[in-house]
Amino acid sequence: MKKGELWKVGKQKTTVVSTHPVDDQIPGSDSTEYYGGYLVAESVAPSRAPLLAASPKLYKALKELVRCVRGGDQTAGVSMDDALLDADSALEDAGI
């Protein structure tokens, strides 16, 4: 993912889109007006689209938590409290 890139549920509730072009684009992924962004995935169950859209944020939060647990706050670059807040926010975005 690119810095600042966000994923969200697209205009079509069975799609997930990005705010930035996807490196390995699938055909039609640049139909941003139709999809509401650059297509990441389609034919996603509407109840699962928020989870998929939140996956980059969930991944980042998990990496931060692992760094905190393995090396302590000093080596993680983020405090355990901040890592937990990021994880809670990502879970909320995912609808979990």
| pLDDT tens sequence across 4-24 | 789 999 999 999 999 988 877
Tracing tokens 């998929």 back to the chain, one arrives at 52
Same domain, yes or no: 37 and 53: no
Question: Position 50: which residue type?
Answer: P
How many separate domains does the chain show? 2
pTM, rounded to two decimals: 0.80
Q: Which domain holds residue 34?
A: 7-41
Same domain, yes or no: 61 and 80: yes
C-alpha to C-alpha distances, 11 to 19, 23, 58, 65, 69, nearest whole angstrom: 13, 21, 22, 32, 38
| pLDDT tens sequence across 84-93 | 898 899 899 8
Same domain, yes or no: 89 and 60: yes
| Structure tokens, 73 | 């706050």
Same domain, yes or no: 26 and 63: no
| pLDDT tens sequence across 34-67 | 999 999 999 999 999 999 999 999 998 888 888 8
Same domain, yes or no: 35 and 72: no
